Structure 1
Amino acid sequence: MKIIQLEYFVAVVNYNSFTKAANYLHISQPSLTTTIKKMEEDLGYDLLIRTTKDIKITEKGIQFYHYAQDLIQHYHQTLEKMHDLNMSHAPKIKLSILESTNQWISQIISNHRRYNQDQTYYVAEVHDQNKILEQLLNFENHIAITNEKIEHENIESIKLYEESYVLLTPENVFNKRETKAVAHYPLIVPMKGSQVRKHIDEYFNRMNVHPNIVIEVSRFEAATNYVHKGMGYAIIPQVYYQSFNTRNLEIVTIKPKIKRAIYINYLKKRKHPKRVLSLINQCIDFWKFRE
């Protein structure tokens, strides 16, 4: 197999189009199509699934894509890896999640693995929206959970649920489970740059009040620890209150409410294995029956 063939394949994946890739490579589309088909015949497995509407890349095609990029520069060092793609074991399912979703994600993965006992998973917390998008587009992750909809033509972004932000307090601090003067309390909030902090700042800007922020943290776990120490009250997503760290604490309803939506995201053009699709559907169904 020649380097130029690998460059042809990488171009088709990058452009998600034989026509655009052919124009970029300055060759005819039939010639490009023939080259890709010949590569698949030589390898013994499909790299791409073609339909009348679009192109989807297979799991083995994704792995080949990553190797092909290296092969263009290091052909002789990675040629053997290219043929190792024809493996039989189930690929690892990779997810990026939010800290606040750990509790329910763990339930779903536990149930999913009950029916797929040889399946392995890679779960990482990622909160940077740009990084999440990059990982999906580069086939690094199968699934991403976000607290904002991803607006991209190649990403399917489905809303799972809405939740309110609440005030996390020690027990028996308030007689009623709601307050209208949140800004005046000593608040523990996420650091600037996070999506949660953006939601909170926008809320107080709309209310035209200056919040009494005493501590800024990078994780809800840290915020919860400071509440346990009596150093202030944390603004957290309501679902996070289900976590182990919030034992012996209470939540107070914030009025007017601060809300956010949680989305599940995946790459449209990727030929996902049935197990990945099953996991996606389990996430959707988990929240569908809780509305």
Structure 2
Amino acid sequence: MKILHFEYYIAVVEYRSFTKASNYLHISQPSLTAAIQKLENEIGYKLLMRSTKEVKITERGILFYQYAKEIVHKYHQTVENMYDLNYSNNPKIKIGILESTSKWVSVVVREHCNHYEDQHYMIREILSTAAITKAITNYDVHIALSNEQIVHDDIISHAIYSEDYILVAPDDTFNKQKSVQLHDLPLILPNDTFQVRKHLNDYFMRHNIRPRIVLEVDRFETALNYVHARMGYAVIPKIYYQSNNASHLNAIAIRPNIKRTIYINYNKKRKHSKRVLSLIDLFIKYWDFGAPHEN
């Protein structure tokens, strides 16, 4: 029984077709069929029921699929960690961040690296709560930041700071008003797949606002570019505005106020190294009252 056979079986299940799976795997259909039959012979029961029209999964096949996915994931994770150790005696620390946190996270990682100069880090942007939960529970990251509390039996989700959303506009607009309402303003907002957009949609609903959306984007950086181009006004987190280049753009408070909380998340069932635990501690201490930090 080989890992490759598990991967073949997973492809057949997910595509529900030997033809589509063989195209995806870049092998012939007869070779794929033979590999699945060999797998079934080795385990002693049918995984799939084949007909001229479709492929159906047996009850045992469903359970086997779940086990196979877990085994393949752990195999690739182990291989990756083995390659990591070619470059360092310590596996890289994998961190999931939000775009809006990138500036201050770099300060924390730099401080951590001052203590562990041989440490290798990998930074990924993970933007949805579901993707963050999956990355933590699948051991794809050690630490991840989210703008929602994650409720999961295996995850510790610890609030580290709260911030306002603000409206960003060119300096010469709004006659130096300190706050504005969002009614009738041309807005540049995140796409509706992102958690920030869900916060804003909830805000609009609670305050009976029908937003005038002129542009939807994937990144705050892109939103600021279009504000510079005078296509509309962007709603972004305050700390992102403070920590990024927003020259000639004015930050205006939104009335009524809208806030969010940032959480640090990690798997409580994972045996974290001393280095990972020290980085978690630095993330938390960075936002402790009175702790020095850059905005």
* Same fold by TM-score greater than 0.5: yes
SS at match of 2:134: helix
Partner of 1:183: 183
Q: Paired residue for 2:71?
A: 69
Distance 1:108 1:178 in 2: 32
CA separation of 1:116 and 1:232: change in aligned 2, threshold 3 A: same
Unaligned runs of 5+ residues in structure 2 are 3-67
1:257 corresponds to which residue? 257
Q: Is the 8 A contact 1:103 1:242 kept in 2?
A: no
| Aligned match of 2:131 | 131
**Which residue identity lines up with residue 71 of structure 2 in the other structure?**
Q
- Partner AA of 1:203 in structure 2: Y
Letter in 2 for 1:112: H
Task: State the percentage of identical aligned residues.
Answer: 45
Counterpart Cα distance in 1 of 2:109 and 2:271: 21
Distance 1:287 1:266 in 2: 17
Partner of 1:22: none
State the 1:244 CA deviation: 3.0
- Contact in 1 for aligned 2:142/2:266 (Cα 8 Å): yes
Q: Which amino acid aligns with 1:240?
A: Y
**Conserved 8 A contact 1:178-1:255:** no
Pair 288,81 (structure 1): closer, same or farther in 2 beyond 3 Å: closer
**Matched residue, 2:224:** 224
Query: C-alpha deviations, 1:117-176, integer Å up to 9, x for none?
Result: 100100010112111111111111000000000000110000011111000111132334
Give the Å deviation of 1:80.
9.9
List structure 1 runs of 4+ shifted beyond 2 angstroms: 68-74, 79-88, 174-181, 242-245
User: Do the aligned partners of residues 117 and 146 (structure 1) sit closer, same or farther apart at CA in structure 2, a change above 3 Å counting?
Assistant: same
If the length of structure 1 is used for normalisation, what is the TM-score? 0.70
For residues 70 and 214 of structure 1, the distance between their equivalents in structure 2, rounded to whole angstroms, comes to: 44
The C-alpha deviation readout for 1:166-220, integer Å capped at 9, x for no partner, is 0011113233443342222111001112110011111111111211111111110
What pairs up with 1:1-291 in 2 under 5 angstroms? 69-70=71-72, 89-289=89-289
> Does the 8 A contact of 1:162 with 1:259 survive in 2?
yes
RMSD: 3.0
Q: Indicate the SS of the match to 1:110.
A: helix
TM (norm. structure 2) is 0.69
One-letter amino acid of the counterpart of residue 154, structure 1: D
- Runs (5+) with no aligned partner, structure 1: 4-65
Question: Is 169-178 or 101-110 further displaced after alignment?
Answer: 169-178
Residues 28-66 of structure 1, C-alpha deviation per residue, up to 9 Å, x if partnerless?
xxxxxxxxxxxxxxxxxxxxxxxxxxxxxxxxxxxxxx9
Counterpart of 1:212, as a letter, is R
Per-residue deviation, 1:81: 9.7
